[in-house]
Every structure is written in C-alpha cells, then in structure tokens.
Amino acid sequence: MVRHVYDFTEGGRDMADLLGGKGANLAEMTRLGLPVPPGFTLTTEACRAFLATGGEPAGLWEEVSAHLSALEASAGRLLGQPDDPLLLSVRSGARFSMPGMMETILDIGLNDDSVLGLAKASGSERFARDSYRRLIQMFGSTVMGVDASSFEHALAVLKGSRGVRDDVDLTATDLAGLVETYKDLIHRETGEHFPQSPADQLRRAVLAVFESWNGERARLYRRREHIADDLGTAVNVQRMVFGNLGSDSGSGVAFTRDPATGRPGLYGDYLPDAQGEDVVAGIRNTVPLSELERLDPASYARLRTHMETLERHYRDLCDIEFTIERGTLWMLQTRVGKRTAEAAFVLAAELADEGLITPDEALARVSGEGLARLMFPRFDASAAGTALARGVPASPGAAVGAVVFDTARAVRRAAAGEKVVLVRQETTPDDLPGMIAAQAVLTSRGGKTSHAAVVARGMGKVCVCGAEELTVDTGARRLTTADGTVVEEGTVVSVDGSAGAVYAGSVPLVDSAVIRFLEDGRGDEGARGVVDAVARALSRADTVRRLEVRANADTPEDAARARRFGAQGVGLCRTEHMFLGERRKLVERMILAGTDAARDRALAELLPLQRQDFAGILEAMDGLPVTIRLLDPPLHEFLPDLTDLAVRIAAAEARGGEADAHDVDMLTAVRRMHEENPMLGLRGVRLGLVVPGLVAMQVRAIGEAVAGRLRAGGAPRAEIMVPLVGDVRELRLVGEEVRRVLADVSRESGVTVDCPVGTMIELPRAALTAGRIAEEAEFFSFGTNDLTQTTWGFSRDDVEAEFFSAYLDKGVFPVSPFETLDRDGVGRLVGIAVAEGRAARPDLKIGVCGEHGGDPDSVHFFHGAGLDYVSCSPFRVPVARLEAGRAAL
C-alpha cells in the first residue's frame, strides 16, 4: 500500500518532491540533531489523490492516527488533553516555496476544557485564552470559510471598547469574551459550532490545507512563478512551541548571510514574546537579531552554531524560522534562502572562495535573468534630493510610479498602462495581484523577512519595507511623512530598493555598475563585490560553454558595444534598418521607379550608403564573422500609410484644390502593393527574386565594403544571409546572383572577395526540407520569430496584447512562445532541420538569431539541439554567455 505519512525522523532533504520543501528540510534538520519539535508530514501524493477524488486516500487517517499516537507517547500528553494539552500546528509545504500563499493553522487541540488546562500548565491564563482565540480565528476563516475580516472587525471593536491599541493590552477576561464572540460569529455565519473535538480539528485542518493548494492566491502565485499546478502540497503536523510566553520567549527569522547583498554575517529579525506568524506578517516591528544577542546570549549562541551547521551542510545561504520558548531554542523551518540577483552572484563567488562549492556549482547558482536585472539602470543619487522616507532595502532596483493604496486600484491603474507603486502598512497574501501589477512595493511596517519583502524579492520586484516614519492612511488614500508632508494617491514617487529610500517625483536613472563594468571593464568602488562576482561567473561560463554568442546589430556603434559585451560576431545585421530616416526617400524612388533606368539610378544612389554601413560594422567586428541579411520586410513598409494618403488627397480635394501629384502617384503605388497579409507576402527572398537589381546592389555594397577593408589591412568576415527561404530553388537562384556579383567585385577591385552564403530557417517548409536547402546553404540561422509565427499561425505583431493573456491564464502555455522557444513544436522543427541539414552538409554552421537567442531557457534548448551559436541583442549578450555556460554544466 502507498504510504502517505512520514515522521520527521524518517525523511530527508532529497525527498522534497514527496514531503514538500518544508517537510523534507524539517526531516533533514531532525537528522542533523538540531532541536526540531517532533512531528510528521502528509505527502504531496496524498494531496494529489485528495484533490483528484475529493476524498481522503484509503488508509490516510489510520496512518495519521498511528503517527499521532507516537507523537503523544513521546510528549507524554494527548492531543487536547484537558489538564495539559498537546497542541499541534498544521502547515502547508509545497515542493517549491510559496510564501504565505497557502494555509497554516496553529494551536490545534484547544477547546473549552483544554484551554483551562493550558492556562494551568503554562501558568498564564491570558496566553491560553489568546491561543484559543487565535485557533478559532484561523480555523474559522481557513476551514469553515468565515470571512477573515469579520474576526478582525470583532477584535477591533473589542479593543475600541476597552480603549486599548494593541492586542497585547487585552486581558485574559477580554480574550475569553472574544472567544465567545468568535464562536457566535462562526455559528451565525455557518450554522455550525466550532468543533470541540481535537481529532476533528486536526482532520479538517489537514484537508483545508490540501484544498488551499487550489486557492486563488496560490494559483496566481504559481502562474507568476511558473510552478506546475499539479504538484500538490504536503502538510506538516508538528508539536506547537510557543514564542509568546513572556519576555524570555520570542520568534524570529534569520538568514545565514544577508539575502540582499550576499555579504557574510547572520542576518534577521526577532520579535520578543510573539508567535512566528507575527514576525512574517509584519504586524509589529521586529528588532534586529543582534538585539537577541543582548536579550538572551545563550539562545543566540546556539542559534549561531545551528546556522553554521546548516550553511555548511546545505553549502548555501539558508534561511530559518525559530522560536524561543522560555529560554529553549527550537528550529521550525529551514530552506535554501531566496536572494536578490546581487546576493546570488556575490554568494556564489564567496562560497567558491571558501571552498564550499566548486566553480561550476557557483556558475549553476547564478542566472541570466539575475544578470539582466543587475544590468538595469539605477537612480542618480546626485539628482535624488532628500528622501521622503527611508526603510529597509528589501528588494533592489529602481522604480518610479504613482502611489496607490490598495491592490484593486494597483491592478486597475496598471492595466490602464500607468506605472504604480503599491503602498501598504504591511502586505498580506491577498495583495499579490497588486504586487504583480506594481512597479514597486512600499510598506511602513515589517522587516526584511516580512511578507512584502520575501514575495517582492522572489519576483525581482523593487521593495522598501518598514518605512516606519511614514503614516499610511489607506482609508484616506494618503501617506504622511515624518515632517508632515502629505502624499496623496496618484502622486509620483521614486522607490530605490537598493538603498531603501523613497523620493518625491521621478528621479533620473544612471547606468548600473555592472553595465559600466561590462562596457569598459570598470565598475564603481562601492559595487566592487558584485562586479567582481559577475566577472568571475562570466569568465567561468566562457571557459565551459560550447555555444558561441553573437549579437544582432545594425550599426557600427551597436556592433562595437556588443563586442565589448563579449559578442563573437554579428549573427544578424538587418539591412532594412539602414533604409530609414533620410534614406527612405531613395527607397521610395526605387520602389516607384517607372523604368528600369530610374530604378537603377535610385539603387545606384543607395549603393555607397550601404557600402559605408557595412564597412563600419565590419571594422567594428574586425576578425569576427558578420552575417548580413538581404532586405526582408515587405516594401510597402517603406511607403506612407494608405489611409493617411487617401485622407490627405480627399482633404485637398474637399478644399476645392488639386491633390499633390506626388501623393496621387504614391497612392496608386501603395494600392498596387497593398497586401492583406504582408507578413506572408512579398518579403524575404521573394523580394530578391522579383525586384530587379535589389540583391545585386546589396551584394555589391557588401563585396565592395569587404574589398575596401581588405585593402585597408583589415580582416573582414562578411557572411550573406537570405531570409524567408521555403524552397531550395529560391536560395539557388539568389545564390547564383550573389556569386556572380561577388565575382564582378573581385575582378573590378583586384581583391578576392569570397563570402559564405547561407539562409535563415524561418518557415516550417524550410525546416522540413532542410536537407535539400543545405545543398545550397553554407550556413543556417534559425529565425525563430518568424518560425514561431508560421508554426503556430500567430501573428507576431498582433497577438501579444489580446488573447495571449487569456491563453496564459488558461494555461495553454506557461509563457509566450515568442519569448521562450516552444520546444514541442518549433523546437521539433529546429531538431529536424539540424539533423537533416548536417546530414547533407556535415560542416554546416548553425545558429539562431530570433529573440529566443537571448532567452535563458531557449539558450539551454539550443545548446542541447547542437547549434553552434546564438545571436541576440547586444544587451542580452552577457546573459546568453552566462546561460550558454550554465547549459554546458
């Protein structure tokens, strides 16, 4: 029979799929001999079975009962025992951490009798009553479906009537009254009584946690984090320990290193006389861990030792939750901690220096996405002025937006295209949609481990939390700073998540230290650590990667920058970008030419301009390959818009005058060239085959640029690429013309000009007939933008805004196929083309130049597919280098 329950002494960290992250790590800590309150874990498999059938898997409860009996035996007390009750916590714990997204129920086992026993055993009636009301509150909302705000409201009313501000000022009698109010509330709203049987409480709590896997918050979080919907959550049942038993008790959260910067040193927040949930919720402001050293040096020393043990054991930054119950330290959770991009790089380098991990492991622990984040600009400190407020720098980056005070508005205004900053006293999991919609999150309460901080860091969202001098008035939709400045909703502020500061207005941005380093080999002093760490990761990636990285660049400046970023050539030079601006007139003349002679004259004027463009790029990439693509877009893109023209002519005529003759000619031409589906029309190789002289002019410009560079002593390596080929005969016809023109140029210049001729593979037919095409092509470059468009039948220019969000919501795909390569469909075509192309021509050079060339997941795919290089925009080049290295590990 399948086993559904494991004691903490039976599991281990390698069982996270089955026991969830929390359960596996609790078991690991138990095995390491750390002080973990005993307990057991119900598996994710049990959850999946429950969710699939709506009922408990057979034998589940017998297993739970057996483990409970063992737990009771070891504690010497029974669950809910009237004179001295054993109490339990029931917590979710999925394979991947989903902070605060699912349910937790504490103090299971309390009822009208055992609350008295707890009062006696703990020596504190207030504590016992408070624990009981917490249980009813959590159970009532999570299990019985009563709106959580009804409990909050009842609590607020009680505090109001007693004239107190904080929960801690309520007396035992107040709390006993509150218990009755809560029980009445539940009965009124559900027609049911709060269950007095501890076993019932346990059973219903467990099932509610299973169900919370499919709660709205949890689903939204998974979609955002690309976590699969079918994993299910494990449930951990554990003996309660109490941090709220007086000043010698407390709860805290700690990191073995600073999760924002990666720098060494214990880091965390502590809240004396509180339960763990109070720390994470950011309800009261915590004190730094150093304060614990003063309050309870013995516990602090033990905590330090345990954390050192954990970091050495996991060989990574760990975060932990702990509770001190009357001077006894308990470890309640550990996991490899979430960290900022900066911390990931710094930590990887430091752990490698300390010999805890190898250089390859260090590389595996950083990511291209993280690097991209570090390349973003930050605020110009000299232009920032005085901060409106300062808080904890919880998640780095620079963001500007209009302040909004609730999630619904954040979502609404962001959907309307506005950049917003979500401001809250503290966030709860219900704020997740607003956090996703906002550019930044700002809270007035809570530390680096508060919900806002943890979630924002996980998403890479800018966050400043615990800006205590701010008074946030959500109802009035305004905040007030320490000096009395009032900031109303809609006011633009700048949030610096790296410095923990908030400024009025929109502060200008400057380049990040990492970009400066990538550009010119220098960073600034303050950023040394992260710059060095990035340099080391990139250098390791360059050592191990097999894929070359080239850049998509159309100007000498872009080519030069890409080269500084480490590009090993240009993989795509889009020549159409050279026909814009001033030159558009020349292109117009070429298109509109009534005679061959007129067209030749227009082409002859374009020739020197193109030659100069190519010479500049070849010089910037001297010695490295430069793949120049012949003109690709439909020609009407260079002509005025049909509607604009028609309106202009009609307006002139309506005024009683004559329309401009040029406009009238143009309108005729534009009408003649109009296509219903231009992306499937006269473009790519088709242009070269039907517009006389176009290919010859472009190839001549390339050939003459190469000859010129050779004469100047350079080492130009131009490659000529033909777009949108679907059949080998298209390529053969164009190829013949290319070679003829190059031969002419060689003869005229006296310099041998020889350029490889290859093709883009961007139509399914090209991929499926790649073996034939390779007979003519000396290289392939996958144009995965068009290949995705033509494989899916999605217009790349239209779809993203409209039905893609519905497709993402409905889970048709987890991420846009224009962003991350669709391995199953487009990827399969890539695989076929690689295999058949290489079979026909074993030395066929193969690359990719669609946007996917700079996307981390796609880079891993291209590595596996056996490509020779990826080509991407200059700013993605470092990202692609890093990911190509990681793919090779």
Query: What character string, x for contact with ligand PEP (CB under 6 A) and - otherwise, covers 724-743?
Result: --------------------
Q: Does 554 interact with Mg ion (rule: CB under 5 A)?
A: no
Tokens 């590990």, residue located: 889
Minimum distance of ligand PEP from residue 872's CB (angstroms): 10
What part of residues 781-800 is at the interface with Mg ion (CB under 5 A)? 783, 786
Q: Does 125 interact with ligand PEP (rule: CB under 6 A)?
A: no
Q: Report how far residue 40's alpha carbon sits from residue 235's, in angstroms, rounded to the nearest whole number.
A: 8
**Pairing status of strand 378-379 against strand 509-510:** antiparallel
What part of residues 760-779 is at the interface with Mg ion (CB under 5 A)? 762
572 binds, among ligand PEP, Mg ion, none (CB under 5 to 8 A by kind): ligand PEP
Q: Does 64 interact with ligand PEP (rule: CB under 6 A)?
A: no
Task: Kindly tell me which of 497 and 723 has the beta carbon lying closer to Mg ion.
Answer: 723
Closest CA to 883 of 369, 534, 348, 368: 368
Residues 6+ apart with CB under 8 A from 887: 545, 547, 859, 860, 863, 864
Tokens encoding 6:
């494991």
Minimum distance of ligand PEP from residue 785's CB (angstroms): 3
Distances (CA, A) of 433 to 412, 414, 478, 496: 10, 11, 21, 21
Please provide the DSSP assignment of 588-618 as one string. Answer: HHHHH-SSHHHHHHHHHHHHHHHHHHHHHHH
Give Rg (Cα) of the chain. Answer: 33
Task: Kindly tell me which of 71 and 721 has the beta carbon lying closer to Mg ion.
Answer: 721
Minimum distance of ligand PEP from residue 837's CB (angstroms): 17
Q: Does 783 interact with ligand PEP (rule: CB under 6 A)?
A: yes
Segment near ligand PEP (CB under 6 A); pick from 231-239, 536-544, 751-759, 784-792: 784-792
CA dihedral 509, 513, 515, 516 (to 10 degrees): 100
Q: Does 558 interact with Mg ion (rule: CB under 5 A)?
A: no
Element (H, E) at 329: strand 328-336
Q: Does 853 interact with Mg ion (rule: CB under 5 A)?
A: no
Segment near ligand PEP (CB under 6 A); pick from 257-265, 330-338, 426-434, 782-790: 782-790
Q: Report how far residue 875's alpha carbon sits from residue 375's, in angstroms, rounded to the nearest whole number.
A: 8
167 binds, among Mg ion, ligand PEP, none (CB under 5 to 8 A by kind): none
Tokens encoding 603:
């082409």
What part of residues 204-233 is at the interface with ligand PEP (CB under 6 A)? none
Minimum distance of ligand PEP from residue 620's CB (angstroms): 20
The answer on whether 55 is annotated among ligand-binding residues is no
What part of residues 603-632 is at the interface with ligand PEP (CB under 6 A)? 632
The CB-side HSE value for 173 (13 A sphere, CA atoms) comes to 1
Q: Does 150 interact with ligand PEP (rule: CB under 6 A)?
A: no
Q: Which residues of 297-327 are buried (b: 16+ CB within 10 A; e: fewer)?
A: eebbebbeebbebbbebbebbbbbbbbbbee
Distances (CA, A) of 86 to 80, 81, 110: 6, 7, 9
Minimum distance of ligand PEP from residue 868's CB (angstroms): 16
Closest CA to 503 of 403, 434, 431, 407: 403
Amino acid at 243: G
Closest CA to 482 of 386, 548, 568: 386
* Active-site amino acid positions: 451, 849
Q: Does 635 interact with ligand PEP (rule: CB under 6 A)?
A: no
Q: Does 276 interact with Mg ion (rule: CB under 5 A)?
A: no
491 binds, among Mg ion, ligand PEP, none (CB under 5 to 8 A by kind): none
The answer on whether 304 is annotated among ligand-binding residues is no
Tokens encoding 297:
């040096």
Q: Does 722 interact with ligand PEP (rule: CB under 6 A)?
A: no
The CB-side HSE value for 171 (13 A sphere, CA atoms) comes to 5
Q: Which phi-psi region, left, alpha or beta, contains residue 282 (left: φ > 0; alpha: ψ -120 to 50)?
A: left
Q: 614 near 718, Cβ under 8 Å? A: yes
The answer on whether 601 is annotated among ligand-binding residues is no
Closest CA to 887 of 358, 372, 367, 340: 367
Q: Does 572 interact with ligand PEP (rule: CB under 6 A)?
A: yes
The answer on whether 629 is annotated among ligand-binding residues is yes
Q: Does 489 interact with Mg ion (rule: CB under 5 A)?
A: no
Tokens 């021509």, residue located: 841
Tokens encoding 90:
């029931």
The phi, psi pair for 520, rounded to 5°, reads -135, 15
Q: Does 785 interact with ligand PEP (rule: CB under 6 A)?
A: yes
Q: Does 762 interact with ligand PEP (rule: CB under 6 A)?
A: yes
Number of chain residues interacting with ligand PEP (CB under 6 A): 10
Q: Report how far residue 590's alpha carbon sits from residue 609's, in angstroms, rounded to the nearest whole number.
A: 14
Sign of CA dihedral 155, 157, 159, 165: positive
Q: Does 434 interact with Mg ion (rule: CB under 5 A)?
A: no
The answer on whether 784 is annotated among ligand-binding residues is yes
Element (H, E) at 29: helix 16-31
Task: Kindly tell me which of 493 and 849 has the beta carbon lying closer to ligand PEP.
Answer: 849
Length, in residues, of the chain: 889
Q: 235 near 88, Cβ under 8 Å? A: no
784 binds, among ligand PEP, Mg ion, none (CB under 5 to 8 A by kind): ligand PEP
Q: Report residue 755 CA to chain centroid gap.
A: 41
Q: Does 880 interact with ligand PEP (rule: CB under 6 A)?
A: no
Task: Kindly tell me which of 694 and 707 has the beta carbon lying closer to Mg ion.
Answer: 694
Task: Kindly tell me which of 566 and 783 has the beta carbon lying closer to Mg ion.
Answer: 783
CB-based contacts of 645-653 (< 8 A; 24+ apart in sequence): 645/670
Q: Does 24 interact with ligand PEP (rule: CB under 6 A)?
A: no
Task: Kindly tell me which of 542 and 868 has the beta carbon lying closer to ligand PEP.
Answer: 868
Minimum distance of Mg ion from residue 734's CB (angstroms): 16
Q: 65 near 420, Cβ under 8 Å? A: no
574 binds, among ligand PEP, Mg ion, none (CB under 5 to 8 A by kind): ligand PEP
Minimum distance of ligand PEP from residue 629's CB (angstroms): 7
- Contact pick of 850, 854, 856, 874 for ligand PEP (by CB under 6 A): 850
Task: Kindly tell me which of 258 and 786 has the beta carbon lying closer to Mg ion.
Answer: 786
Q: Does 574 interact with ligand PEP (rule: CB under 6 A)?
A: yes
Most distant CA pair in the chain: distance in Å? 106
Minimum distance of ligand PEP from residue 699's CB (angstroms): 19
Task: Kindly tell me which of 30 and 791 has the beta carbon lying closer to ligand PEP.
Answer: 791
The answer on whether 17 is annotated among ligand-binding residues is no
Q: Does 816 interact with ligand PEP (rule: CB under 6 A)?
A: no
Minimum distance of Mg ion from residue 220's CB (angstroms): 35
The answer on whether 316 is annotated among ligand-binding residues is no
Q: 82 near 198, Cβ under 8 Å? A: no
Number of chain residues interacting with Mg ion (CB under 5 A): 3
Q: Does 784 interact with ligand PEP (rule: CB under 6 A)?
A: yes
Q: 260 near 341, Cβ under 8 Å? A: no
Q: Report how far residue 701's alpha carbon sits from residue 738's, in angstroms, rounded to the nearest whole number.
A: 11
Q: Does 571 interact with Mg ion (rule: CB under 5 A)?
A: no
Reduced to 3 states (helix: H, G, I; strand: E, B; else coil), residue 882 is helix
Segment near Mg ion (CB under 5 A); pick from 453-461, 504-512, 780-788, 839-847: 780-788
Q: Does 849 interact with ligand PEP (rule: CB under 6 A)?
A: yes
Task: Kindly tell me which of 61 and 792 has the beta carbon lying closer to ligand PEP.
Answer: 792
Q: Does 855 interact with ligand PEP (rule: CB under 6 A)?
A: no
Q: Does 765 interact with ligand PEP (rule: CB under 6 A)?
A: no
Q: Does 859 interact with ligand PEP (rule: CB under 6 A)?
A: no
List residues binding Mg ion (CB under 5 A).
762, 783, 786
Residues making up the annotated binding site are: 574, 629, 762, 783-786
Residues making up the annotated binding site for Mg(2+) are: 762, 786
Residues making up the annotated binding site for substrate are: 574, 629, 762, 783-786
List residues binding ligand PEP (CB under 6 A).
572, 574, 632, 762, 783-786, 849-850
